[in-house]
């Protein structure tokens, strides 16, 4: 099971945190501090796994961002690495060659996409196409709601004219 997902920039700034196990706010910031210093200090050629407090943290760097997933000791590390890659590819397709700025200004979208891939710390959907289709369908709902609201307000505006 995955316990949490972290996105950390090379400067140590947090770009996304997703917790599947209960960590108090205090523990969360401690975990982030500990892990970012440990992971950011590792050299480029080393393996992508860090053993930490009886868990495994699998991380991978994409450009300026480190994607980290903390999972159980006996989980398949190589699979976790593939999950990270799968998420990154999905983001890439959604944003069209994603960069850190996309994830800063649209952080909520990064969360929504992650929520379509992982749930309860497990893999939910392995097809990127399905994931993106679901995201698109929900965005259509948003648009519809927006239009309804604007037409509603124009009706109100007309009525009160």
Partner 1 sequence: MNPFSSGTRLRDMIRAIRASKTAAEERAVVRKECAAIRAAINENDQDYRHRNLAKLMFIHMLGYPTHFGQMECLKLIASPGFPEKRIGYLGLMLLLDERQEVLMLVTNSLKQDLNHTNQYIVGLALCALGNICSAEMARDLAPEVERLLQFRDPNIRKKAALCSIRIIKKVPDLAENFINSATALLREKHHGVLITGVQLCTDLCKISPEALEHVRKKCTDVLVRTLRDLANSPYSPEYDIAGITDPFLHIRLLKLLRVLGEGDADASDSMNDILAQVATKTESNKVAGNAILYECVQTIMSIEDNGGLRVLAINSLGRFLSNRDNNIRYVALNMLMKAVTADGQAVQRHRATILECVKDSDASIRKRALELVYVLVNETNVKPLAKELIDYLEVSENDFRGDLTAKICSIVSKFSPEKIWYIDQMLKVLSEAGNYVKDEVWHALIVVITNATELHGYTVRALYRAFQTSAEQESLVRVTVWCIGEYGDLLVNNVGMLDIEDPITVTESDAVDVLEIAIKRHESDLTTKAMALVALLKLSSRFPSCSERIKEIIVQFKGNLMLELQQRAIEFNSILAKHQNIRSTLVERMPVLDEATFIGRKAGSLPGAASTTTMPSVGIPNGEAKPAAPLIDLLDLSSDDAPAPSSSGGDLLHDLLGVDLSPAPQQSGAGQPSKSGTDVLLDLLSVGSPAQSSSSTVDILSSNTNGKSPVSPLDDISSLSLSSRANSNAGAAPMMDLLDGFGPSPSKENNGPVYPSITAYESSSLRLTFSFSKQPGNPETTNIQATFTNLSSTVYTDFVFQAAVPKFLQLHLDPASSNTLPAAGNGSVTQSLKVTNSQHGKKNLVMRIRIAYKLNGKDTLEEGQINNFPREL
Q: Which residues contact partner 1 by CB under 8 A?
A: 13-20, 22-25, 29, 32, 43, 45-51, 76-79, 81-83, 85-86, 104-105, 107-108, 111-112, 115, 119-120, 122-130, 134, 137-138, 141-143, 145-146, 148-149
Decide whether 45 or 53 has the Cβ nearer to partner 1: 45
Q: How far is the CB of 154 from partner 1 (least distance, A)?
A: 13
Decide whether 34 or 148 has the Cβ nearer to partner 1: 148
Dihedral angle of Cα 108, 113, 114, 118, to the nearest 10 degrees: 140
| Distance in angstroms (rounded) separating the CA atoms of residues 68 and 90 | 16
Decide whether 97 or 105 has the Cβ nearer to partner 1: 105
DSSP string, 68-134: EEEE-TTS-HHHHHHHHHHHHHHHHHHHTS--HHHHHHTHHHHHHHHHHHEETTEE----HHHHHHH
Q: How far is the CB of 113 from partner 1 (least distance, A)?
A: 12
Decide whether 19 or 95 has the Cβ nearer to partner 1: 19
């Amino acid at each position: 099971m995955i316990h949490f997902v972290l996105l950390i920039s090379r400067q140590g700034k947090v770009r996304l945190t997703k917790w599947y196990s209960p960590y108090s706010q205090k523990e969360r910031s401690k975990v982030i501090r500990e892990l970012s210093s440990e992971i950011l200090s590792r050299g480029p050629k080393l393996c992508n796994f860090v053993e930490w407090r009886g868990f495994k943290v699998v991380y991978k760097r994409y450009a300026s961002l480190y994607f980290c997933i903390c999972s159980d000791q006996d989980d398949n590390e190589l699979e976790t690495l593939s999950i990270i890659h799968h998420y990154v590819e999905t983001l890439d397709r959604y944003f069209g060659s994603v960069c850190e700025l996309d994830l800063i200004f649209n952080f909520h979208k990064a969360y929504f996409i992650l929520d379509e891939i992982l749930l309860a710390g497990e893999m939910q959907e392995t097809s990127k196409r399905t994931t993106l289709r679901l995201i698109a369908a929900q965005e259509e709902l948003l648009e519809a709601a927006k239009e309804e609201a604007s037409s509603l307000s124009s009706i109100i505006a007309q009525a009160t004219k």
